[in-house]
Amino acid sequence: MDIRKLRMFHEVYVTGSVTKAAERVCVSQAAASKTLSGFEQEIGYKLFSRKGGRLSPTDEAYYLYEEVVELLQSINRLETSIKEAKSYRPGRLRIGSTIGPSYSFLPKIIAEFMTKNPDVKASLHQLGCTAIREGVGTGHYQIGLVDRAGPSPRYDSSSVDLPCYCAVPSTYPAAKLSLLSPSDLDGVPWATLSTENETYKSLKKAYAKRKSRFNPVVEVHSTPNALQFVALGTGVALIDSLSKSFFLDISLFQNIKIIPFEPKIFEPIEIITSNLKPISGIAEQFHTALVTQLETLAR
């Protein structure tokens, strides 16, 4: 597969225009049109239709887009790694993380670690779990924080279960309670992570056990997304202790009450490390500090 064709598809998808896509990749409009046309001929179907002077993605384009973005991000990371390889030093931390820990938790730990180790340089990249696992498995990242999954021969891992709390709009009657359960939130709308997430499965089981009505109305990608819906009064959400600590510290959502939930539900977070070769002494020290902080939060 020609990477130039994938990049042109991406730019046309984003801009809705061959002309703008050509400008972004620094080629002529004719070359851009030829590249896109060649890609469509190669795969055997149209990717865009013209509507009101703008190119609109077809259903097939919608289906392909996320896969293409993930592949292009991997290629960009590879290109960066090739450039950085010459200046690589053992005193560099390379960390990949999902959105939650990368907001405040990891920056604080990294900053404290670098204060104690002033020669250390660090990079922190916010990515999806698949990209992080791939990056750690290939040695691009020394340490990754991801949602827990099954074991893999490509990396070593340990996990910590973070207790969850319920975030409720302060206008809800349930916001006056000191402990919430499915019975208190019978039929109340929820903003949840995907149905494959462990917290969703645990929440659904808790409702079934209490014979209460579970009412998920919004599926989100991350806890900050869920909290936005809670703040807007759309429903309630579960947040782990890591997110609770961050959002309480910055008082970002003042119209939300965060209340313990019963039965206890945990958000499993997995810390993975490359096993291509032993990680550096600096990375090992940071890994120890990271696990210690997570275990403290879990308690």
Q: Give the integer Cα–Cα distance in Å for 38 and 35.
A: 5
Residues 257 and 288 occupy one common structural domain? no
Mean pLDDT of the chain: 86
Q: How confident is the model at residue 247 (pLDDT cuts 50, 70, 90)?
A: low
Residues 126 and 193 occupy one common structural domain? no
Total of domains in the chain? 3
Burial class (CB in 10 A: 0-12, 13-18, 19+), 89: exposed
Enumerate residues 6+ apart whose C-beta is below 8 A from 123.
92, 93, 94, 95
Q: What is the mean pLDDT of residues 43-72?
A: 86
Instruction: Supply the pLDDT for residue 278.
Output: 77
Q: State which of 52, 84, 116 marks the end of a domain.
A: 84
Residues 24 and 62 occupy one common structural domain? yes
Q: Which domain holds residue 192?
A: 161-266
Residues 72 and 95 occupy one common structural domain? no
Residues 43 and 24 occupy one common structural domain? yes
Q: What is the mean pLDDT of residues 140-158?
A: 84
b/e sequence 48-60, b meaning 16+ C-beta within 10 Å:
beeeeeebebeee
Q: What percent of the chain has pLDDT over 70?
A: 94
Q: Which CATH number goes with the domain that contains 142? A: 3.40.190.10
Tell which wins on pLDDT, 73 or 179: 179
Whether the per-residue pLDDT at 223 is higher than 70: the answer is yes
Q: State which of 69, 84, 99 marks the end of a domain.
A: 84
Residues 151 and 284 occupy one common structural domain? yes
Q: How confident is the model at residue 188 (pLDDT cuts 50, 70, 90)?
A: very high
Q: State which of 84, 111, 145 marks the end of a domain.
A: 84
Q: How confident is the model at residue 85 (pLDDT cuts 50, 70, 90)?
A: low
Q: Give the integer Cα–Cα distance in Å for 162 and 296.
A: 10
Whether the per-residue pLDDT at 83 is higher than 80: the answer is no
Residues 236 and 216 occupy one common structural domain? yes
Residues 133 and 99 occupy one common structural domain? yes
Q: Which CATH number goes with the domain that contains 36? A: 1.10.10.10
Least confident of 62-66, 150-154, 163-167: 150-154
Q: What is the pTM of this model?
A: 0.62
Residues 202 and 260 occupy one common structural domain? yes
